[in-house]
């Protein structure tokens, strides 16, 4: 079978009209006009330059665990990092990790090398690039605690190195624009007894599983309006189990919206807006989505 490339660019693999529901944990979304796998920095730079020249819309997808695509799909280019972007290597107390590597793979690697400090990542889905851009975390820690610097590529295909301050970590956010690609991240960890690492990971995993609803979802849908939690606010408004179409507020954890099988993106969006209106009316707090919603 002949492999298609994106406008003849070596190091790319193109799939046209790719169903996005295959690439997201929500299992929702129409088709992407172009779905491009990119395996090298040179190829990525050329892809971004081509997109800019042709004035095309694009989105970088990791594991699709924190995104909701429209039922109409995505009229543009979806870029997925592969090849060198999945590599992980160790240098002293530092781990240099590709932006396309799975968080779970990174965690297994550091545990094998007897390094601690990343135990909070257990059970967090997604890729390193997506995790950094959203400053993912749990148990009071986040990527901000272990990241020392990152290498990025902008819309023009230009590479830059950003230190911790320049990244601009905040609660479930950074200064990184959606269009920025995280090429590589440098994490600093400390040597630790493997038994202690695994013990902490086991406790963290058990706690996450106890809180985690079953079904297709994107995890926590709203950011916690600290010091409150979104789940507690939604539950206090009596919204557990509320449903629009096949989209439902989980009866297990109110900050999760579950696709019960055939939910549409429009169902999820309508349900999310209803939650926001109700919480604002009853509690005076505006909930902000943690999930990226692409229309």
Q: For 250-255, what is the mean pLDDT?
A: 97
Q: Which of 107-116, 202-211, 235-244 has the lowest mean pLDDT?
A: 202-211
Q: How high is the pLDDT of residue 1?
A: 45
Q: What is the predicted pLDDT for the residue at 244?
A: 99
Query: What's the pLDDT at 211?
Result: 84
Rounded percentage of the chain residues whose pLDDT exceeds 90 = 96
- pLDDT value for 193: 95
Our answer to whether residue 235 is catalytic in this structure is no
CA distance 62 to 185: 15
- The one catalytic residue in 217, 220, 248, 250 is 220
How far apart CA 159 and CA 169 sit, in angstroms, is 20
DSSP 9-30: -TTEEEEEEEEGGGGSTT----
H or E stretch including 259? Answer: strand 257-259
Is-catalytic flag, 260? no
Residue 136's contacts (CB-CB under 8 Å, 6 or more residues apart) are 103, 121, 124, 126, 130, 142, 143, 172
The first and second tokens of residue 63, run together, are 């594991």
Tens digits of per-residue pLDDT, 263-292? 999 999 999 999 999 999 999 999 999 999
Query: Which domains, ranges and CATH numbers included, belong to the chain?
Result: 12-83 (3.30.43.10), 87-210 (3.30.465.10), 230-294 (3.90.78.10)
Whole-number percent of the chain with pLDDT over 70: 99
Q: Is the pLDDT of residue 114 over 70?
A: yes
Contact between 82 and 14 under an 8 Å Cβ cutoff? The reply is no
Q: What is the mean pLDDT of residues 70-96?
A: 98
Structure tokens at 34: 């172009």
Burial environment of residue 239 by CB neighbours within 10 A (0 to 12, 13 to 18, 19 or more):
middle
When the pLDDT of each residue in the chain is averaged and rounded to a whole number, the result is 97
Distance CA 19, CA 28 (A): 9
Paired tokens of 35? 């779905």
Query: For position 2, what pLDDT does the model report?
Result: 60
158-178 pLDDT per residue, tens: 999 999 999 999 999 999 999
Q: Write down the catalytic residue from 18, 119, 248, 290.
A: 290
pLDDT score for 280: 99
Residue of 13, 82, 172, 236 marked active site: 172
Instruction: Report d(CA 180, CA 165) in Å as an integer.
Output: 17
Q: Is 273 a catalytic residue?
A: no
Give the model's pLDDT for residue 153. Answer: 99
- The string of pLDDT tens digits covering residues 178-221 is 999 999 999 999 999 999 999 999 999 999 888 889 899 999 99
């Amino acid at each position: 079978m002949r492999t298609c490339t994106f406008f003849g660019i070596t190091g790319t693999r193109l799939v046209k009209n790719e169903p996005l529901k295959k690439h997201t944990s929500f299992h929702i979304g129409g088709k992407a006009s172009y779905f491009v796998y990119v395996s090298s920095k040179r190829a990525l730079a050329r892809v971004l330059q081509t997109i800019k020249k042709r004035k095309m819309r694009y989105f970088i997808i990791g594991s699709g665990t924190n995104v909701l695509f429209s039922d109409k799909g995505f009229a543009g280019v979806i870029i997925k990092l592969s090849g060198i972007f999945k590599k992980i290597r160790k240098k002293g107390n530092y781990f240099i990790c590709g932006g396309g590597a799975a968080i779970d793979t990174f965690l297994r690697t550091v545990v094998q090398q007897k390094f601690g400090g990343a135990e909070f990542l257990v059970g967090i889905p997604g890729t390193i690039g997506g995790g950094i851009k959203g400053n993912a975390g749990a148990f009071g820690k986040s990527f901000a605690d272990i990241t020392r610097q990152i290498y990025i590529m902008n819309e023009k295909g230009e590479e830059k190195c950003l230190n911790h301050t320049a990244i601009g970590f905040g609660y479930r956010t950074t200064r990184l624009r959606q269009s920025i690609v995280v090429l590589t991240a440098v994490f600093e960890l400390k040597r630790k007894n493997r038994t202690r690492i695994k013990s902490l990971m086991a406790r963290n995993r058990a706690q996450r599983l106890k809180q985690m609803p079953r079904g297709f979802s994107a995890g926590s849908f709203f950011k916690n309006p600290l010091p409150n939690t979104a789940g507690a606010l939604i539950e206090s408004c009596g919204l557990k189990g509320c449903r629009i179409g096949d989209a439902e507020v989980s009866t297990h954890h109110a900050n999760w919206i579950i696709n019960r099988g055939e939910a549409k993106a429009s169902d999820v969006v309508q349900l999310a807006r209803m939650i926001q209106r109700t919480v604002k009316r009853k509690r005076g707090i505006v909930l902000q989505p943690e999930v990226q919603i692409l229309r």
